[in-house]
Amino acid sequence: MGSTLPLFPEAASTQAGNVDLLYFFVVAVSAFFSVLIAALVISFAVKFRRRQPDEVGAPITGSLALELLWTIIPLMITMVLFVWGAWVFLDMARPPRGSMEIYVVGKQWMWKVQHPDGQREINELHVPAGRNIRLTIGSEDVIHSYYIPAFRQKIDAVPGKLTTMWFNATKPGEYHLFCAEYCGTKHSGMIGKIVVMEPDDFENWLSGGGGMSTSASGEKLFADLACNTCHLENSGGRGPVLGGVPGSLVQLADGSSVIADDNYLRESIMNPQAKIVAGYQPLMPTFQGLVTEEGLLQLISYIKSLPPASSQTSNGAGH
Amino acid sequence: MNSAHAPVASTTPPVNYLNATHGIKSWLLTKDHKRIALLYLVSITLFFGLGGLFAGLVRLELLTPQSDLLQPETYNKAFTLHGVVMVFFFLVPSIPAVLGNWLLPVMIGAKDLAFPRINLLSWYLYIIGGIMTLAAIVSGGVDTGWTFYPPYSTSSPTHVVLAGLGVFVAGFSSILTGLNFIVSVHRMRAPGLAWFRLPLFVWSHYATSLIMILGTPVVAITILLLAAERVFGLGIFDPARGGDPVLFQHLFWFYSHPAVYIMILPAMGVMSELVAAFSRKNVFGYSFVAFSSMGIAVLGFVVWGHHLFVSSQSAYMGLIFSILSMLVAIPSAVKVFNWTATLYKGSISWDAPMMYAIGFIGLFTIGGLTGVFLAVMGIDVHVHDTYFVVAHFHYIMVGGAIFGYLGGLHYWWPKITGKLYNEYWARASAFIIFVGFNLTFFPQFIVGYLGMPRRYAMYPPEFQVLNVMSTAGATVLAVGYTLPLIYFLYSLVKGAPAPANPWGAKGLEWTIPSPPPTENFLVTPVVTEPAYNYNPGREVEVAGR
């Protein structure tokens, strides 16, 4: 039998305080209305209890003023909650620029992590305190959900696309990591820990591992899959030049345009016929089944590391 | 039963709908809406027992942090079957198919529903769907959760297709019931029974029926698509075959969020009847309560995306669903305030049905307010898929729907069976269920905010104390549920005969004998007054004018 009875979770990120403050406000509003209703119901039920068997109640049909009152006040309160909740959410949903990028892949039943410098871990995530960390999350099989209660953060890992989460951990320590979306037999075993370290300790930890950086692994994969036979460093290849594409506006053959975010890059590798860049032929084969979800993240990391092509905008990334 | 105001002489007629014909065939081929309601009563009680058994297994396993009583495979099947059986085979049909079927024709002064044969067909469809799902359970079960999310449900080695098709078939039972109610309310009201004289029970069933016929086909199609993906390998939801798993979630919740209102709206209808009858008073703000049912039915269709805030749905889509979800809280709040105001200057008795009604107000208030937490996006990110959500929807479905169902069953039991049950035990069980329910589910709000995810066979040891409280509460709840089964059955054998109107209540159902004859009304009633007219001597205007 557990000897402790915790009633409130630890708060260990810059966002956790915002969520808790909002939570306490909604608890206060709810407690107020619950107590109000309970007090009215109980006092009426006692005060107006039936005293004679054939007694009937007073014929009160209603009151427009009261109806308006208890429509408008709850409406105003919920609108305040909507705006406040949306404000907290949008902050949690949009990673700041310049965040440290870490790739996470969920699969039945483990979380695999790649740090930019090549460190890899399973079911653990080491991060430095006080830095904005952005996780780019994919799934190799079914839907999972990356959930760190102490940070009040959660995002689904959805096969076929990439999702992101960001946080800034405030307190060194170890925190729970859970899979929150039911994913089969060992769903409750798909857990781990988030290890928040002092920045110096984190540097030491990083240097302890090693191997190739994520983008270097991506570069190797880029060559192994022969991507470089079509995607040249400068124009003239059968495919677009990739340097500078991530984050830019890409003109498509059908006249529309799209921002080249992670999901666009992912789709262009797995399902290249979905969006054809203007000026190019639909020649590229799909790499579905040829590249793992981790390999995909390495490729994206490599493409992001490429310098913009020299003074060329004919690669389809022109504005 | 408090019989202070009951007439002394029994009015039980020698021939009534229960004994008019005899033999098993007379029941299995009946077209009488009241007998069909009883067929449903027996069958949903069996499914409730089955769903409760699975809930018991889940709670027992969660006594300890390890996975010891059940292996994770078995645990996953237990919570899946608890959800599937309770949602599709108990909660959705409970009030509409039992109380609605029995009462709706009587309340509108009709001899039966518009399509009696279709009504019987709907029970058979329910039974066929139930047998298919039972077959899936017996042959090894299903482990996807009641939500059937792909691509896990595409790849799960368990009996997803059979269980899904069981739900599919049972869905048609629900569609046919909804159709029957809508046509009956439009076409079969007694002379003088204008829309704004209808009991609020009828209004809420009308709103429920709209959801049933508009929403259920969508989940039926979704389940068929899932079955097609599994059987024929079509790529609809599985990204490995070019599908989109989030599309399933949109389609599923397009039905399944309104389905929550299929479960709660009829209970709200029962509530209005109970509050009026046990306050001997017209319902405060009748037309606001009636229109809030319609408002819930309509708004309920545009809030499904609040189940997808962390599913990779775009943040801006999330904003729209968040504000719409806030709006659906308003008509629910309006109802709670109106019921509370109805008590003011009423003549309130504390009979067992009223205890359920008062319990309902308290529990539904907590359930509804915690729903607001989930519509607030910044909070939902943290509590989504945790026990906070589990606690919230059990406050709505058990604290709301089951309290409404049990309250209604106690209120109309003398009318349905012609027998009085033991009032002392009925009050005791209402109290035990209320205590057991809160002990079971309130700790889950706390453990949810602490971060315990739902559908976990194993959990970190610091969550154990709260889980033990929850399991203890479930034990109390099980005792509370068993008592009515005993004293209701006992009343059939030994209960005193019920008078026509044991509660001194208003409403057409209390003007006919207990139990009534097969044709309900020997002479078609003519309605000359609004519902809940407890002060006929004094002028009562229809509220809201």
Q: Kindly list the residues from chain B whose CB atom is less than 8 angstroms away from the CB atom of residue A50.
A: 280, 347-349
Is residue B450 a contact partner of residue A9, using CB atoms and an 8 Å limit?
Answer: yes
Q: Is the pTM of this model over 0.90?
A: yes
Joined together, the tokens standing for residue A281 give: 């032929």
Determine whether the interchain pair B459/A188 forms a contact, defined as Cβ–Cβ distance below 8 Å.
yes
Q: Count Cα neighbours of A185 within 13 Å in the Cβ-side half-sphere.
A: 8
Joined together, the tokens standing for residue B484 give: 């009515």
* Block residue for tokens 């037999």: A185
- Judge residue B127's burial from the number of C-beta atoms within 10 Å of its C-beta, 0-12 exposed, 13-18 middle, 19 or more buried: middle
Short-list B134, B181, B184, CA closest to B162? B134
CB count, 10 Å around CB of A289?
8
pLDDT of residue A168: 97
Q: Calculate how close chain A gets to B40, using CA atoms only, in Å.
A: 33
How far is residue B243's CA from residue A160's CA, in Å, rounded to a whole number? 9
* Block residue for tokens 């069981």: B166
pLDDT band (50, 70, 90) for residue A247: confident
Residue ranges of A 262-301 with Cβ closer than 8 A to chain B: 271, 288
State the best of B244, B274, B382 to mutate against chain A, taking most chain A CBs within 10 Å.
Answer: B382
Mean pLDDT for A165-175 is 96
Determine whether the interchain pair B310/A178 forms a contact, defined as Cβ–Cβ distance below 8 Å.
no
Model pLDDT for residues A56-99, shown as the tens digit of each residue: 999 888 999 999 999 999 999 999 999 999 999 999 999 999 99
Judge whether A19 is closer than 8 Å to chain B, CB to CB. Answer: yes
How far is residue B181's CA from residue B40's CA, in Å, rounded to a whole number? 16
Measured at the CA of A247, the angle between CA A242 and CA A252, to 5 degrees, comes to 65
How far is residue B541's CA from residue B545's CA, in Å, rounded to a whole number? 8
Q: 3-state DSSP call for residue A251? A: strand
Determine whether the interchain pair B280/A145 forms a contact, defined as Cβ–Cβ distance below 8 Å.
no
Q: Kindly list the residues from chain A whose CB atom is less than 8 angstroms away from the CB atom of residue B542.
A: 61
Mean pLDDT for A277-296 is 86
How far is residue B300's CA from residue B462's CA, in Å, rounded to a whole number? 37
Judge whether A160 is closer than 8 Å to chain B, CB to CB. Answer: yes
**A74 vs B333, B361, B454: nearest CB:** B333
How far is residue B88's CA from residue B100's CA, in Å, rounded to a whole number? 17
How far is residue A217's CA from residue A211's CA, in Å, rounded to a whole number? 9
Joined together, the tokens standing for residue B337 give: 């305030």
pLDDT of residue B3: 41
Q: What is the DSSP letter of B453?
A: B
Is residue A113 a contact partner of residue A120, using CB atoms and an 8 Å limit?
Answer: yes
Is residue A279 a contact partner of residue A90, using CB atoms and an 8 Å limit?
Answer: no
State the best of A50, A162, A179 to mutate against chain B, taking most chain B CBs within 10 Å.
Answer: A50
Joined together, the tokens standing for residue A169 give: 């951990």
pLDDT of residue B537: 65
Q: Calculate how close chain B gets to A304, using CA atoms only, in Å.
A: 22
Judge whether A61 is closer than 8 Å to chain B, CB to CB. Answer: yes
How far is residue B71's CA from residue B68's CA, in Å, rounded to a whole number? 7
User: From B530, which residue of chain A is nearest by alpha-carbon distance?
Assistant: A61
Determine whether the interchain pair A187/B381 forms a contact, defined as Cβ–Cβ distance below 8 Å.
no
pLDDT of residue B4: 42
Is residue A219 a contact partner of residue A284, using CB atoms and an 8 Å limit?
Answer: no
* Ordered per-residue pLDDT tens for chain B, 545 residues: 444 444 444 455 688 999 999 999 999 999 999 999 999 999 999 999 999 999 999 999 999 999 999 999 999 999 999 999 999 999 999 999 999 999 999 999 999 999 999 999 999 999 999 999 999 999 999 999 999 999 999 989 999 999 999 999 999 999 999 999 999 999 999 999 999 999 999 999 999 999 999 999 999 999 999 999 999 989 899 988 889 999 999 999 999 999 999 999 999 999 999 999 999 999 999 999 999 999 999 999 999 999 999 999 999 999 999 999 999 999 999 999 999 999 999 999 999 999 999 999 999 999 999 999 999 999 999 999 999 999 999 999 988 999 999 999 999 999 999 999 999 999 999 999 999 999 999 999 999 999 999 999 999 999 999 999 999 999 999 999 999 999 999 999 999 999 999 999 999 999 999 999 999 999 999 999 999 999 876 554 444 33
pLDDT of residue B538: 58
pLDDT of residue B13: 65
pLDDT band (50, 70, 90) for residue A310: low
Joined together, the tokens standing for residue B382 give: 């943290």
How far is residue B315's CA from residue B306's CA, in Å, rounded to a whole number? 11
Q: Which CATH number applies to B30-511? A: 1.20.210.10
Measured in whole angstroms, the distance separating CA B96 from the mean position of its chain's CA atoms is: 8
Angle, helices B33-61 vs B403-417, to 10°: value is 140
pLDDT of residue A210: 64
Determine whether the interchain pair A182/B240 forms a contact, defined as Cβ–Cβ distance below 8 Å.
no
**Residue B95, amino acid:** I
Domain residue ranges in chain B: 30-511
Determine whether the interchain pair B449/A41 forms a contact, defined as Cβ–Cβ distance below 8 Å.
no
Q: What is the ipTM of this complex?
A: 0.91
Measured between alpha carbons, how far is residue A308 from residues A98, A171, B68 in Å? 18, 38, 57
Q: Calculate how close chain B gets to A235, using CA atoms only, in Å.
A: 31
* Residue B256 backbone phi and psi in degrees, to 5: -75, -20
What single string gives the DSSP state of each residue in A178-205? EE-S--STTGGG--EEEEEE-HHHHHHH
**A89 vs B365, B378, B461: nearest CB:** B378
Q: Calculate how close chain A gets to B242, using CA atoms only, in Å.
A: 8
Measured between alpha carbons, how far is residue A140 from residues A112, A144, B158, B292, B478 in Å? 10, 10, 21, 45, 42
Determine whether the interchain pair B346/A147 forms a contact, defined as Cβ–Cβ distance below 8 Å.
no
Determine whether the interchain pair A188/B327 forms a contact, defined as Cβ–Cβ distance below 8 Å.
no
Determine whether the interchain pair A60/B345 forms a contact, defined as Cβ–Cβ distance below 8 Å.
yes
End-to-end alpha carbon distance in chain B: 38
Measured between alpha carbons, how far is residue B372 from residues A78, A196, A286, B340, B377 in Å? 8, 33, 45, 20, 10
